Amino acid sequence: MKTGAVFLVFSIISTVSVAGDFLGDQVDALMVLIEDHGPDAVIEHIEKFEPVQRLQLYELARELYIFSEWEGRNLDDYITVMDSGIEEALYQANSSSDSFTIAVFLDMANVMSYNLSADLAECWPGDTLTRHRRHFERGLSAALQCIEWRHELDKGPYSFFMAYWAAGIHQLSLGRHREAIYSFVKSLNSAQQLTIDAGRPLGVSPQAGFELLLAHGYLGLAMQICGEDEGSQFENAIQAFQEGVEYPEWGGDDYSFGIAQLMWARDRIIRE
């Protein structure tokens, strides 16, 4: 039973290159449906396939919606398709009697929910897709749902670092600044555990690692917005990232991305 479930995990999380012809052959068909026919046609197409293939196709659809350029690209269509993908993963979990297999499909719903939340956040450098309040509200609900699932699945600190960050970034965008501070503190707590586990020093220093510096940066941003910090925690995180950019063992290119993400988020959330 466990061997079959492990194979199932591999099947579900396969990328285009691993899955071979099946997903590769579906790229063009999905792209035509996405561009010319809309989300309902995408869902109808995906639901014609076998259960595991459906989840692979929903993951492929996410890649095409988020990382492809096409006329009429928008987040509402993306949400519709991803909501259907999450429902599919939950349906497959609820249709299973084996606890391990149930956990596999629940984890797929968890991952899809996190990706949906992250994709809707206004913090990605160069991303100019139009976002409205409804997108932040859906992003927040997706983050809160995956926090529940991560508790149920007994996930580790990295999963909670990400999930609480996702909640916090949408709370900031929605003007729920005090709630964002709470979420970012929870994210920071998880990042501190990651730092301890990795044997790195705590605090806002270049050696602390990407997760901890990013968590400090977002918490500092929320505190600055609430008037509880003049911006020093945010600026200290930026400075630590800058000092660590030249050191691959500390973070290197990841640190450059951390700077870009924090600055992009600040410029969009603090609207003059």
Q: Which of 64-78, 163-177, 204-218, 241-255 has the lowest mean pLDDT?
A: 241-255
Strand stretches in 115-177, DSSP E = none
The answer, yes or no, to whether residue 192 has pLDDT greater than 70, is yes
Nearest in space to 5 (alpha carbons), one of 115, 134, 105, 135: 105
Alpha-carbon span 45 to 29, nearest angstrom: 9
Q: What is the pLDDT of residue 108?
A: 95
The Cα–Cα gap between 203 and 196 comes to 11
Q: Is the pLDDT of residue 5 over 50?
A: no
Q: State pTM to two decimals.
A: 0.89
Contacts (Cβ under 8 Å, ≥6 apart) of 225: 172, 177, 269, 270
- The top-scoring range by mean pLDDT among 27-36, 44-53, 137-146 is 137-146
